[in-house]
Amino acid sequence: MADRLVYVLNGPNLNLLGLREPEIYGNDTLDDIAALLDDRAQQLGLTIEMRQSNHEGHLLDWLHEAQAEGAVAVLLNAGALTHTSLALYDAIRSIKTPVIEVHISNPHAREEFRHKSYVGMAAKGSIAGFGAKGYVLALEAAAGLTS
Selecting among 7, 55, 83, 103, the annotated active-site residue is 103
- Is residue 68 classed exposed, middle or buried when 0-12, 13-18 and 19+ CB atoms within 10 A define those classes? exposed
Give 48's strand partners: 6
Which of 4, 10, 34 lies closest to 88, judged by CA?
A: 10
Residue 72, amino acid: V
> Is position 103 annotated as part of the catalytic site?
yes
Q: How, if at all, do strands 99-103 and 73-77 pair?
A: parallel
Q: In 3-state terms, what secondary structure has residue 51?
A: strand
Query: Residue 79 and residue 87: Cα distance in Å, rounded?
Result: 14
Apex CA 8: angle with CA 7 and CA 11, to 5°? Answer: 130
Selecting among 25, 89, 118, 135, the annotated active-site residue is 25
* Residues marked as catalytic: 25, 103
